[in-house]
Amino acid sequence: MSQEPIPDPRILVIYNPSSGEKAGLSTNRVSEEDIRALMERHGLEHDLVVTETEEAGVQAARDAVEGHYDVVVAAGGDGTIGLIACQLLDTQTALGVLPIGSIMNIPRMLDLPRDLEGAAATLKQFVVRTIDVGEANDQLFFEAGSVGLNAAIFREGQRFGDGEYGSILRGIWVMLRYPPARMTLHLDDRVVRTRALMVTVANGPYTGIGFTIAPSARLDDGLFDVRVFRGFSKMELVLHFWKIAFGRRRYSPKVSTYRSSRVRVESVHPLPCRADSHDLGTTPITFEMRSAALRIVAPPPPPLGHSVAT
């Protein structure tokens, strides 16, 4: 992973005023004036765009690349960060982050401060790293892909985040009725045939509501951590998800881990697939790694053999 300082960068802040809401409830509200004052306190000269729609955010990021901005700061949650980051891939424009969302998996994976003062201080240091990005069915993702039960459950979790409170009961119903499925995984160096409840293809450690699905995954190694969940009873799986939620970590001998830059998942019967918050239909599906595709302003990475802090 490269690291380099940026002297006197041109900065554009893209602010999403809708960030900081989950299940229709406000969890972290910051105003445009708060963002401007924060940047000024840290001596960060900048332009600021307020975006009310995803389309406006995408266009603002594309305009920033064409305008040769050095840094585009996503002021929002994981959704806003991912939306802006997708427009900066394979360009010289780096992503910056001011975290004002509810879960913030991406900042956590990068050891970025969750508080705005700390995040602004990180921007002031102007150290750029490069990180990997996953792709499946033409959809980019930063956290993880999922196949099987986890994809079905995360779909209901997304609906709960959108305010559909009945999705909790549907998620429980899905978990209780979902059977293990026969899958074939084509990896870089092997073919794995298994009968499992679910498979995760992780770019980083966290996904969903902070589930630690791959504690050893790194964003800068060019490989997915492919985790196969087999042999769980339904109650064991419920307890496992509970114990890895919100950044907590738990080892389970019933989870096998492989590492690969490309993963194709096939199954006898179609299985649901997702990547981050995106529904990708059903199997077969191929996940591919785009190594070092995104430049981002973030603290230096931890030494090899050390995972990010939870």
Residue pLDDT, tens place only, 259-277: 999 999 999 999 999 999 8
Residue pLDDT, tens place only, 99-144: 998 778 899 999 899 899 999 999 998 889 999 999 999 999 999 9
Confidence of residue 304 (pLDDT cuts 50, 70, 90): low
CA separation, residue 160 to residues 118, 156, 164, 200, 271 (Å): 30, 6, 5, 21, 21
> Angle at which helices 54-66 and 78-86 pack, to 10 degrees?
40
Q: Which residue has the tokens 């920033």?
A: 64
Domains 4-125 and 139-291 are alike in CATH topology? no
The neighbour count for residue 6, using CB atoms within 10 Å, is 16
Among candidate residues 90, 7, 16, the one with its CA nearest the CA of residue 294: 90
pLDDT average, residue stretch 241-246: 65
pLDDT average, residue stretch 167-178: 60
Lowest-confidence pick of 52-61, 136-145, 182-191, 200-209: 200-209
Q: What pLDDT was estimated at residue 306?
A: 47
Q: Are strands 211-212 and 224-229 parallel, antiparallel or unpaired?
A: unpaired
More confident residue, 234 or 52: 52
| Pair 281, 274: CB distance under 8 Å | no
Q: What is the CATH number of domain 139-291?
A: 2.60.200.40
The neighbour count for residue 305, using CB atoms within 10 Å, is 6
Q: What pLDDT was estimated at residue 279?
A: 92
Q: Which residue has the tokens 């160096």?
A: 189
Look at residue 179 and tell me whether its pLDDT is greater than 70.
yes
Residues in contact with 202: Cβ distance below 8 Å, sequence separation at least 6, in sequence order: 143, 144, 145, 213, 214, 217, 224, 225, 226, 227
Tokens coding 73 = 């700061």
Number of H helices, E strands in the chain: 8, 21
In the chain, domain spans: 4-125, 139-291
Can you name the CATH fold of 4-125? Rossmann fold (3.40.50)
Cα pseudo-dihedral 169, 171, 177, 181, rounded to 10: 180
Residues in contact with 176: Cβ distance below 8 Å, sequence separation at least 6, in sequence order: 234
Q: Which residue has the tokens 């990547």?
A: 275
Look at residue 5 and tell me whether its pLDDT is greater than 80.
no
Q: What pLDDT was estimated at residue 158?
A: 57
Residue pLDDT, tens place only, 31-70: 999 999 999 999 999 999 999 899 999 999 999 999 999 9
Report the distance separating Cα 277 and Cα 155, nearest Å.
Answer: 8
Residue pLDDT, tens place only, 145-163: 999 987 877 665 555 455 5
